[in-house]
Amino acid sequence: MAKLVLGSQVDLDELLGAHYFDSPKFRIWQPITYMFMHGNFMHLFFNMFGLFMFGGILEQKWGPKRFINFYLITGLGALALQWVVQGIELYQITGSIINHGNLPLESLAEGRFNPAQYTESTASTLFSIYFGTMVGASGAVFGVMTAFAVLYPNVELMLMFIPFPIKAKYFIPIYIVIELFLGVARIQGDSVAHFAHLGGALIGFILVKLWKDKDRFYDYYE
């Protein structure tokens, strides 16, 4: 876990990582800063590898300003969908997407809860919503990969874990379907925010289609 010593230890994951918007740990800057935090070196490596593979071509096509806007917007979209999913889970448990002072947040934070009120699974879900931290550029990178597949569908990719070339228009959708399955399956011990990945991919697809149609309109009338 990332910590910075400034007279006392500061938990950077907690400070800069994203929390549910109704969490006591939520801060207004987190929807931006969480994209630049990573859980470990491999998390950072694979995100930067994906950004290097697909992002450079998009930046050349769009220019740095539009690419940065795209990257940030898809990162925000990733967090937004994650919040929607968390809000649905919270609503199913409590009947509301926000805490009206009825949830024993301090007890949940300490791992204490009333078994007559919450099952262990329910308490774990509430704890993960209000005290879980999301970090990483994965949502934005999924947006970048989706945009690449839309703009360059027939480009063949050689990937380290697939021994043959595969076109972008096949690989990216398959990857997205796998993320959807993992998100719905909710495999025990899986701490990956799969719906954030899907959110980045969805916003990336919408943006690139809008920009593609807009560019085609201007090119036609110029």
pLDDT reading at 122 higher than 50: yes
Question: What mean pLDDT is predicted for residues 195-220?
Answer: 79
Rounded Cα gap, residues 170 and 96, in angstroms = 39
Q: Candidates 1.20.120, 2.60.40, 3.40.720, 1.20.1540; correct CATH number of 35-221? A: 1.20.1540
221 pLDDT band, cuts 50/70/90, is very low
Instruction: Tell me the average pLDDT of the chain.
Output: 83
Q: What percent of the chain has pLDDT over 70?
A: 83
Can you give the C-alpha Rg of the chain in angstroms? 20
Rounded Cα gap, residues 138 and 47, in angstroms = 6
Question: What mean pLDDT is predicted for residues 37-58?
Answer: 89
Give the lowest-confidence range in 5-19, 35-49, 174-188, 203-217. Answer: 5-19
Rounded Cα gap, residues 84 and 131, in angstroms = 16
Model pLDDT, residue 104? 74
Rounded Cα gap, residues 158 and 30, in angstroms = 35
**Which strand (E) or helix (H) includes residue 34?**
none
Task: Answer for the pair 74, 51: CB distance below 8 angstroms, yes or no.
Answer: no
Model pLDDT, residue 5? 47
217 pLDDT band, cuts 50/70/90, is very low
Written as one letter, the residue type at 199 is G
**What residue segments make up the domains of the chain, in order of their start?**
35-221
Give the lowest-confidence range in 51-55, 92-96, 104-108, 169-173. Answer: 104-108
- Return the higher-pLDDT residue of 23 and 186: 23
Rounded Cα gap, residues 31 and 34, in angstroms = 6
Rounded Cα gap, residues 58 and 222, in angstroms = 23
* Highest mean pLDDT of the ranges 67-71, 124-128, 164-168: 67-71
Model confidence, pTM: 0.83
Half-sphere exposure of 133 (CA within 13 A, CB side): 20
DSSP conformation letters of 84-134: HHHHHHHHHHHSSSS--S-S-HHHHHTT---TTT--HHHHHHHHHHHH--B
218 pLDDT band, cuts 50/70/90, is very low
Model pLDDT, residue 20? 95
- Return the higher-pLDDT residue of 9 and 184: 184
Rounded Cα gap, residues 138 and 50, in angstroms = 9
26 pLDDT band, cuts 50/70/90, is very high
